[in-house]
Amino acid sequence: MARRKNPENETTEEKNIRQHLDGVADNSSRSEKVSWNRKMDNMVKLMASLRPIEEEIVRLSNQKIPVFDEIQELRKVMVLECVHPFDYLLHKEDHISCKFCNKNLSIPTVDND
């Protein structure tokens, strides 16, 4: 690429740093640099095309939040009023646990008539 102009009023330390950076940057050939810059341009275009998709995701997420809040409120009420459905019950050694409301219940006595 084009040679970089040496800045005016450059201190010795700044010159050493610039020369080190130049040494690393000038290690690649001109064709490698041109190829890399072309790839960078392509990546910028891809990122620009991604922006509308990300905005759509944010818009949909904003629509999801109120529904999720309603689900949370309903679940709180259901936990308080839990009827311990059969499908959510786990039989443990000394108690029965409800997977929905996380309550531990004593094992009822069963009449064997």
- Alpha-carbon span 111 to 13, nearest angstrom: 92
- Alpha-carbon span 89 to 13, nearest angstrom: 73
DSSP state of 14: H
1: in domain: no
Q: Is the pLDDT of residue 47 over 80?
A: yes
User: Is the overall model pTM greater than 0.95, yes or no?
Assistant: no
55: in domain: yes
pLDDT, mean of residues 37-66: 97
The DSSP result for 55-93, as a single string, is: HHHHHHHHHHHHHHHHHHHHHHHHHHT----GGGEEE-S
* Percentage above 90 pLDDT, the chain: 73
Q: Is the pLDDT of residue 29 over 80?
A: yes
Q: What is the number of structural domains in the chain?
A: 1
Q: Is the pLDDT of residue 1 over 70?
A: no
Q: Is the pLDDT of residue 113 over 70?
A: no
- Bridge partners for 22 per DSSP: none
| Non-local CB neighbours of 63 within 8 Å, separated by 6+ positions | none
37: in domain: yes
| Non-local CB neighbours of 105 within 8 Å, separated by 6+ positions | 84, 95, 96, 97, 98
90: in domain: no
Residue 54 — very low, low, confident or very high, per pLDDT cuts 50/70/90? very high
CB count in 10 Å sphere of residue 89 = 13
23: in domain: yes
7: in domain: no
62: in domain: yes
